[in-house]
Amino acid sequence: MTDPYENLLKKAYTNISEVSTSSERFVVPEAKAYIEGKTTVLENFVEIADKVRRDHDHLMKFLLGELGTSGKIDGNRAIFNGKFEISLIKAIIKNYVDDYVICSECGRPDTKLVKDDRVQLLRCDACGGHRPVRKRKARTEPVEKNLEEGAILDLEIQSLSRRGDGVVKMGRYIIYVANAKPGQQVKVKITRVSGSIVFTERAV
C-alpha cells in the first residue's frame, strides 16, 4: 500500500510549476501583428500565451478589453476587429505580463493565478511570495459621443508615431493627426473610429 505521505507529496508537486533556472532569461516573444482588411491579426498569439504560461482565453479577454473591441482565436493567431498599431498591442501585452505573470517580490515569471475566496492572487513558486492581482485604475475615458465620426476637436499633439503622424492619447483612445508635430495646437475632424484608434483630418 502506498504511503499516504508519498501520495500527498506527489499531489503537492503536481501543483508546482516548473521553476526556470537562474541563468535562464525570461523573454516574452515580440508580438507579430499586421492589418488584414478591417481586422488586426496577432499571428504569434499562442506562442506568447504559452511562454507566459497563461490560459489562452484569459489573455485574449484581457487584450479585447484593453483594445475595446471584439475578436477571436483562430489557430495560433488572434484576430481583432479594427485596425490597431503594433505598438499599442505590444504595450497591452507588457501590461498583462506585469500584472498577471511577473512576481513583484523576486521578479521571476514562475507564478500561478489562484483564487482565495473571491480575490485573485498571483502566487510565486520561486520565492513563495503572493499578492492580489493589480486592478488597473478605471480609465478616465471621454464620452464616446465626443469621438463620433464628424466631431470637431481642439487638440495639442503629444508625440509622433513611427509613420510621422501626430499622436494624442485621450483615455484609452489614440488619436492620429497627419502632418502635425509635438506641442502643436490643431483643430481636427474625426474621419473614422476603429476600436480605440481615432483617425482625423484637419478641420477648416
Residues 21 and 97 reside in one and the same domain: yes
Residues 40 and 69 reside in one and the same domain: yes
Give the per-residue pLDDT at 141.
44
d(CA 54, CA 56): 6
Residues 156 and 196 reside in one and the same domain: yes
| CATH number assigned to the domain comprising residue 45 | 3.30.30.170
C-alpha grid cell, residue 96: 498583462
Q: Which residue has the cell 495560433?
A: 76
Give the per-residue pLDDT at 172.
75
Residues 167 and 118 reside in one and the same domain: no
Residue 1 neighbours by CB distance under 10 Å: 3
137 located within any domain: no
- Residues sharing a CB contact under 8 Å with residue 48, sequence separation 6 or more, in sequence order: 28, 29, 31, 42, 59, 93
Give the per-residue pLDDT at 29.
95
Residues 24 and 101 reside in one and the same domain: yes
- Which of these, 193, 192, 189, 191, lies nearest to 204 by C-alpha position? 189
Residues 52 and 116 reside in one and the same domain: yes
Q: 187 near 199, Cβ under 8 Å?
A: no
Strands 111-116 and 130-132: unpaired
Give the per-residue pLDDT at 177.
92
138 located within any domain: no
| Domain boundary residue, one of 132, 152, 175 | 132
Q: pLDDT, tens digit, for every residue of 156-194? A: 998 888 778 888 888 778 899 998 988 899 999 999 887
Give the per-residue pLDDT at 7.
63
Give the per-residue pLDDT at 101.
95
106 located within any domain: yes
d(CA 80, CA 192): 17
Q: 187 near 203, Cβ under 8 Å?
A: yes
Residues 98 and 174 reside in one and the same domain: no
Q: Which residues does the chain have with pLDDT short of 50?
A: 1-2, 13, 16-17, 21-23, 137-145
The DSSP letter of residue 159 is: E
Residues 48 and 119 reside in one and the same domain: yes
Give the per-residue pLDDT at 41.
96
11 located within any domain: yes
Residues 78 and 149 reside in one and the same domain: no
78 located within any domain: yes
| Chain Cα centroid distance, residue 38 | 20
194 located within any domain: yes
Give the per-residue pLDDT at 48.
97
196 is in which domain, residue-wise?
Answer: 144-202
The pTM is what?
0.61
Residues 167 and 96 reside in one and the same domain: no
